[in-house]
Each structure stands twice: as structure tokens, then as C-alpha cells.
Chain A
Amino acid sequence: MNSMQVLSRNTILGAVRASQPAAQPMPTIPHFHTNKPADLAAAFCASIARMAGVVVTEDVPDLDSFLRAKFPNAKVICSAIPEFAGTIKPASFNDWSEASTIDVCILRSPMAVAETGSILLSDMELQVNTIAFLAHDLVVLLDAQQIVSNIHDAYEHPHFKQRQYSVLMTGPSGSGDIGGVVVHPAQAAKTLTVLLSPAPNAGKRTG
């Protein structure tokens, strides 16, 4: 920090200290489980549907044929999960802008939120953060056991304190900026499909 920066820092902190009102207490924050849905998976499906996300609840025994049927024109399939090869792995991208060549990106989320229909992704799952934003279509595997009730529960996930980047993603990109009508896509993924699929190390929760 140069001397100008030190001066600015001290001036601001001094002014804030001189101005701030008498200290007020921090409230206790409950997790509000009074309205907890009985079926978290069903609540998650309803919430993400409102944000234009799609959930496949039936078992998908063969991911390869599922992807070929759903995205027949896809050439570049980037897989960020160890159990599926795809056509390319995130580690292949030297520059993160190269992820724009991806047609379909397949990932696994460690947690989802019933209240909002959000899935959690971080730099741990993504490896290259842009794959979830520059790819046209996203397919995300999620263990239904890892759906939490609400946002209070969600922010207890260790990712938010440990990862450099994390995102609660809720449906494909959209914008309501023209005429107040939400359309998809905006700048990022065009579609988001969630497959409810037990984690390979089922029984051991990742989060």
C-alpha cells in the first residue's frame, strides 16, 4: 500500500469512527424451520421449475445415451465429473475463455436448496469457473439427500467459507430488463437440467 493509500485508508476509517452511532447489538438469527417442506426433493423441483430449470427425477442409467438424445447436435461435451469422460475435461482449457467452445457441460453439485431451487457450485466442482457460464447447456447431477430446506441452512455449507468462488445457481441465465418479461437465455447458459442421482460414494455426504 503506497502512502496515498495509507492516507485514504486512515482518513476513511477515522471519519467512520467519528461518525458511527452508538454500538447496537447483533441479533440472533434463527433458521426458521417452521415451514419446512415434508418432501425436500418435491419442493426443490417446484422451486427450480419457477426459474425455468428442469429436473429429471427418473433414473438415468446411461448418461451418454441420455445426453445424445437430449442434445443431438452437441459436439463438445465437457465433463467435470470423474465417472463420465465426455469429449473434453476442464483441465484441457489453458485460457478460461476457451470454455466458449463447449456445447454441453456436465457437473455434480454438492448441495441444493428446496426454498429457492438453487444448486451450489464452486471452483472445486467446476475447476474452470467459466465452464458453467460459457457452455450452452448445463447438466448437473445432484444427490437428493443433499437438498437442504432453506437459504439459512444453505449458507452453512463449508464452501462459503473455504472456496475462492462459489455460486448458488437457480435455472438458466435470464433477463427481465426489456419490458419486464423474463426471457432465457441472457449472457450465460441457455438451459439447466438437474438429474437426481445418488453420489458415487453414496452414504457419505460431501457437504
Chain B
Amino acid sequence: MSRPVDQAKNAEKFLADTVHEQRLDKLLWAMRMRRDAAARQVPEWEDLRSLASAIKEHTLSNLSDYLIQFEARATANGVTVHWARDAHEHNQIVYDLLAEQGMNLLVKSKSMLTEECEMRPFLERRGIRVTETDLGERIQQLDDQPPGHIVGPAIHKTNKDVAVLFSEKYGSDPNNEDTAYLAGVMRENTRPDFLTARAGMTGANFVVAETGAIVVATNEGNADLSANTPRLHICSVGIEKVIPTTESLAVFIRLLARSATGDTITQYTSMFRGPRKGAAMHVILVDNGRSARLGMKRFWHSLKCIRCAACMNTCPVYRRSGGLSYGSTYMGPIGIIMMPTFEIRKYSELPFSSTLNGSCSNVCPVKIDIHEQIYGWREVMEENDQIQVVKKEAMRVADKVLSHPALYQIATATLSTALEVLPHFAIYSRLNAWGKHRDVPDAARETFHEWYSTHRLRANEEVRS
């Protein structure tokens, strides 16, 4: 049985290096600001969010019919549709497709699903070289790390980190940290694989039941190159990615890039309905726990996710600790509510890596009640006794104080005095994992209750008199 991932402890390494921490925080917050600006440009933004949520809820509540419709249409277009119950079955299907034609190189674009299935090591152990062609994903592959962010996998790395890594792996100039130069190194080194690989792979952002199409959004053109250059295109997709129609696709395309980076659209929004003459296209529909999640009354809404990462960019915990600290395929607020459905004990601590400020739910383009689900998972962990004793004790104390107004007032009134006199270890103790590495702001000279009783009560009395 896996030990629970201790996200707060994992974050210590990242936090110890202030350059990376402050840079990531600033970068992601800028992305959040760009998202806000982009949303303000669209008068119907809130209508689009409501529509997206309703379309997803409609599709997920009729999912079996839409999957069957997609299969029929895609098959009619010349696509071979496969079904994989779990990660192993998915990986085996991919391997068999490659092995039966003696292929030993796969060029692929970014897919969080293949990360979830740990497909790369599976294929590599069987002698197939896999080249990630998304810049961020390739950086992480070369550095032997999983993605740290679902949209920008290497966003936590500085230009210097990449310059050093590329010089080690590609022999480029370790002192040239120019972004365009580094992207050029990637282009030069990836192009030969695009031209020689006989198989390419993509994920999918959306799957359109009505037309049997898969839709992929990228900025680099690497998905179009991976799918179009070789004669074999394999597409892996989670069953929850189905949407009913091309008409409904428009709603999601208008929301996706704006929510992710603040751009109106990605450079390439590509639709693959079938193979060209003389080529083959295979779509693998993957369950891997999704059908079980669909049956969880409190948590099935997380299947609406379109992987924009807006919740991650806005989350103060994610921004200050980096994606790798979650020790999971999906990270940040959306990861917290998805990962326990894969392995409850391993991810039992993740729901506590949140301030429950609700910002994640407010920016979610498909209106997933993320912070409420995080709270729901805390309750599940409590019920299932999955919480560490120390965390449980802290919660017990908090619960007692918060449920007794008198105790709460005493506690807050004494805080400012306490902060002056309490030794450092008492404030930043193990009972408060998030106090570590964070300066507690100076306590207000008077509490709200003190202020209210001196000002408002007096003002009210004056009004009355």
C-alpha cells in the first residue's frame, strides 16, 4: 500500500529556493490576470460558463449513448476505435499497434492521459523510443521529471535551467538563455524525428460524438505534425472528453484558451475525423477509473474538467509550492479532487493542500464546485480515517474554537499579544503545515469584534438616540 503523498513536505524543497518559488508565483498570477482580462472582453462570458457546464452535465448523464454514437461515426470515417478499461490495457493496445509493424519510434504531442497511464516507461521498456514534441513536455522528459503543470509542463523551470539541460542533452550553448534560441534548439532536434517516425500520437481536448471527430488544441503545431506526418496516428482519449456536437464545441473553444493563458484561441485548433488515403487512425477510449467516478454523487462533476489549469494558476498553494510537490499526474485544485479517485490512501493528504478560498471554483470555465469538492474529500478522508493524527488534532481544535463564539473571541483577542511573545516554533509548528515558509501577517491591533463594539455599536446608539 502506498504511503500518502505529503505535499507540504515535498514543497519544502521548492520553497527553499526562493528564485524558483517567487518566479512561479509571479508567472502564474500574471496568467490569472490575463485570464481575467480576456474574460472581461466577452460580454457573454458567464453565459458561456453556464452553457459549458450544462453541456458537460448533459453529456456525462447520457455518456453511454454518446460513446456509442462516437464509435459509430468514427468507424464510418475509417477510424479504428479501441476500448481500454485501465492504464495497462491502454498501454498494451498502443504497444501492439506499434509492434505489429515493427516500429521503434513514436512522436507524440502532449497528453496528460498518457502520463496518467505511465505509457512512456511501458513502451521504453519494450524497446520503443518516445519523443515528446511539446516543448515543455520534452524539457520534463529530458530532465526525467513528470509535468509540473497541465498546460505548461516545465513552467517551474527558469531559462537557465533549460539552457543547462539542453546543453547537457543536445550540446547547445549553456550560457544562452534566450527563449527564442532555446525554442530553436528544440525545433532543430525534434524535426528529424518528425520526418523519420512512422507513428505519431496525440491526446484530445474534445471528442465530437455527432461527427466522430477528435479535437486537439496546441500552440506549437506539434500535434498536427505528429498526426499528419507518419502514416499511423494513434489518439488516446478519456471517455469523459465526449461532447455532443460541433455546435457545442464552439462554446468550449471560446472558453479554453482564454481560461488557460488569456489568449482568445490557441495557434492550432485541429480536428481529425479520419485517416488520409493509405494511412491509419486509431482512437483509444480509456476508462481508467472514470466510470467509477461518474457514480460518485458528490464528485462526478470533476469529470467536466477541460484541463485549462485556471484553477492551478489562481491557487495560492499551487503557486507557492509548484506542481511536482503533489506527487501526482494532476495537480493543484483539480488534482486534489481527481487523484483520490485513483488511489485514496496515496492521495489522502492532498485535500488539505488548499486554503478553501473558492477562487478555483470562480475561475473554472465549466463551473466545477472545486473548493466544495475539496472540502467533501476532507470529510471522506476523516470518515475513512485516512488523516494523519497531527492533522486530525489541529482540525479538532479548530472545530472546537470555531463552533464556540466565546472561545473564538478569546482566541482572536489574544492572538496579537500571542504573536509577540510566542516562540517561533509555536506559530510555525507542525500543526500548521502551511505556516511553514510563510510569514504570518501582523495581527490587527484590534479584532473585528473589538472594532465593531467600539465603533458601530456606538454609531448605532448615536443614530437611535
Chain A interface (Cβ within 8 Å of chain B)?
5, 8-9, 11-13, 15-27, 29-30, 32, 34-35, 47, 50-51, 96-97, 100, 115-118, 123, 129-130, 132-134, 150-152, 154-156, 160-161, 163-189
CA distance A129 to B221 in the complex (A): 12
The answer to whether B154 touches A178, judged by C-beta atoms less than 8 angstroms apart, is yes
The answer to whether B180 touches A180, judged by C-beta atoms less than 8 angstroms apart, is no
Chain B proximity of A120: nearest CB distance (Å): 10
The answer to whether B67 touches A16, judged by C-beta atoms less than 8 angstroms apart, is yes
Q: At the interface, yes or no: B136 with Cβ under 8 Å from chain A?
A: yes
* Interface residue from B68, B139, B155, B225 paired with A188 (Cβ < 8 Å): B225
CA distance A22 to B251 in the complex (A): 23
The answer to whether A172 touches B264, judged by C-beta atoms less than 8 angstroms apart, is no
Q: Which residues of A contact B162 (CB under 8 A)?
A: 178
Task: Report the nearest A residue to B270, measured CB to CB.
Answer: A167
Q: At the interface, yes or no: B220 with Cβ under 8 Å from chain A?
A: yes
Q: At the interface, yes or no: B194 with Cβ under 8 Å from chain A?
A: yes
Chain B proximity of A129: nearest CB distance (Å): 4
CA distance A15 to B77 in the complex (A): 27
Chain A proximity of B97: nearest CB distance (Å): 13
Known: A8-B84, A20-B294, A180-B31. A186 touches B222 (CB 8 A): yes
Q: Which residues of A contact B211 (CB under 8 A)?
A: 160-161
The answer to whether A50 touches B264, judged by C-beta atoms less than 8 angstroms apart, is yes
Q: Which residues of B contact A5 (CB under 8 A)?
A: 82-83
Q: Which residues of A contact B250 (CB under 8 A)?
A: 29, 151-152, 154-155
Known: A117-B264, A187-B187. A12 touches B85 (CB 8 A): yes
Chain A proximity of B427: nearest CB distance (Å): 34
Over the window 122-148 of chain B, the binary record of Cβ atoms lying under 8 Å from chain A Cβ atoms (1 yes, 0 no) is 000000000001111001000000000
The answer to whether B224 touches A129, judged by C-beta atoms less than 8 angstroms apart, is yes
Task: Report the nearest A residue to B190, measured CB to CB.
Answer: A187
Q: Which residues of B contact A173 (CB under 8 A)?
A: 219-221, 267-268
The answer to whether B85 touches A133, judged by C-beta atoms less than 8 angstroms apart, is no
Q: Which of B6-14, B51-59, B442-450 contacts A (4 or more CB under 8 A)?
A: B51-59
Known: A8-B89, A164-B272. A27 touches B179 (CB 8 A): no
CA distance A180 to B250 in the complex (A): 26
The answer to whether A169 touches B267, judged by C-beta atoms less than 8 angstroms apart, is yes
CA distance A11 to B96 in the complex (A): 21
Chain B proximity of A29: nearest CB distance (Å): 6
Chain B interface (Cβ within 8 Å of chain A)?
27, 30-31, 42-44, 47-48, 50-51, 54-55, 57-58, 60-64, 67-68, 77-78, 82-85, 89, 133-136, 139, 152-155, 157-159, 162, 179-180, 182-183, 186-187, 190-191, 194-196, 210-211, 213, 219-222, 224-225, 228-229, 239, 244, 246-251, 253-254, 261, 263-276, 285, 287, 291-295, 297, 300
Instruction: Supply 12 further A-B pairs (C-beta < 8 A) apart from A32-B44, A177-B153, A186-B186.
Output: A16-B67, A18-B295, A20-B63, A24-B54, A27-B54, A133-B221, A133-B228, A161-B210, A172-B267, A173-B220, A175-B183, A178-B159
The answer to whether A118 touches B219, judged by C-beta atoms less than 8 angstroms apart, is no
Task: Report the nearest A residue to B281, measured CB to CB.
Answer: A164
The answer to whether B276 touches A165, judged by C-beta atoms less than 8 angstroms apart, is yes
CA distance A23 to B186 in the complex (A): 47
The answer to whether A174 touches B220, judged by C-beta atoms less than 8 angstroms apart, is yes
* Interface residue from A13, A133, A179 paired with B179 (Cβ < 8 Å): A179
Q: Which residues of A contact B47 (CB under 8 A)?
A: 30, 32
Q: Which residues of A contact B62 (CB under 8 A)?
A: 20, 23
Chain B proximity of A187: nearest CB distance (Å): 5
The answer to whether B64 touches A20, judged by C-beta atoms less than 8 angstroms apart, is yes
The answer to whether B182 touches A188, judged by C-beta atoms less than 8 angstroms apart, is no
